[in-house]
Amino acid sequence: MRSEPPRKILDSLELLGAWPNCLYLLKGKEAMIVGGGMSWIAPALEKQFTAMDFDFSRIRYLVITHSHFDHCGAVPYLKRKFPQAKVLASAYAQRVFSLKKAVQFIATMNDRMLEISGADKETGRLNLKFDGIQVDRTIADQEIVDLGNGITVRFLETPGHTQCSLAAYVPALKILFPSDAAAFPGFDGKGAAHPSPQYDFRLYLESLKKLAAFEMEILAFEHHGFLRGAEARQFLVQAAKQAEENRKFITENVRRPEDFEAVVQKLAGDFLEQTRFLFLPPEIQKSVAATVVRKILEANRK
């Protein structure tokens, strides 16, 4: 299903942001924003926040599920807007945010998308400058945050896509936030986009298996919205099968060094078609595809 923001999913869950870059507002007695997005969605968020009947002083947490630029770029804006909120991330993500080159790259990619989207006109008014992230609390596997009113959030380490990936599960509501530990729905809503194990393919499969074991009614992605019911329950199993099919394709088609480039070009082209992501320039898409191919070939040799 295509679930364009803004959308009230449950009384305790709102989908915010934009179709390519989703955030979620999870509400108990206190509230939590899951996902750090990119700064280009800030003008949309401003309109969405203005239209909501909600006490924003209840927002106590901002969750960064991993350190890629499209999942943390809006955090400085959100932190300035909700200064009472603590930024939560894994210890590895905290280390990434301490690196000058990483911060510069995230800032560059956010500035690029601000310009492409036209949101750069709002940079001054909304203070959309990406000037780094201070993590207030590091989160480890199985750690729980209690929002009150029966809403607890259980965090899960899910390495594979990145070393720093976290997912989150809300037992009372059977909501799973997988971030990019799983492939997300394609742009057209038909199936999943190509899986992206940029750190370790075997760990990626293990993380998928770990997530698929949870009871779920809502599967809430940070790209392309959410799935409900049977569609949600089946999606991660299908995503694991697709990851194996991807490995088979790469293994069968990279027989010689000269095959590598052709496979990378195909995967990058497929991913662009599946996602239509404007914030991933061709050179980044190609770099990501090349990393995925290398990681799968490395896994085959182990």
Residue 15 in contact with residue 22, Cβ under 8 Å? Answer: yes
Residue 137 has pLDDT above 80, yes or no: yes
pLDDT at residue 230, rounded to an integer: 93
% of the chain beyond a pLDDT of 70: 99
Report the mean per-residue pLDDT for the chain. Answer: 94
Of 146-150, 192-196, 216-220, 286-290, the poorest mean pLDDT is in 192-196
Residue 54 has pLDDT above 80, yes or no: yes
Q: Which residues contact 27 (CB under 8 A, 6 or more apart)?
A: 11, 12, 13, 14, 54, 58, 147, 151
pLDDT digits (tens, 9 = 90+) for 150-159: 999 999 999 9
Residue 4 has pLDDT above 80, yes or no: no
Residue with tokens 């990019």: 180
pLDDT at residue 2, rounded to an integer: 57
Domain ranges (residues) in the chain: 7-240, 241-301
CB atoms within 10 A of CB 220: 27
| Torsion-angle region of 191 (φ positive above 0: left; ψ -120 to 50: alpha; else: beta) | left
% of the chain beyond a pLDDT of 90: 88
Of 16-25, 63-72, 268-277, the poorest mean pLDDT is in 268-277
pLDDT at residue 13, rounded to an integer: 98
pLDDT at residue 195, rounded to an integer: 81
Of 9-13, 102-106, 139-143, 285-289, the poorest mean pLDDT is in 285-289
pLDDT at residue 3, rounded to an integer: 63
38-58 average pLDDT score: 96
Give the architecture (CATH level 2) of 7-240: 4-Layer Sandwich (3.60)
* Strand arrangement of the beta sheet that strand 13-18 belongs to: 7-10, 13-18, 21-27, 31-34, 59-63, 86-89, 137-138
pLDDT at residue 80, rounded to an integer: 97
Radius of gyration of the chain (CA): 18
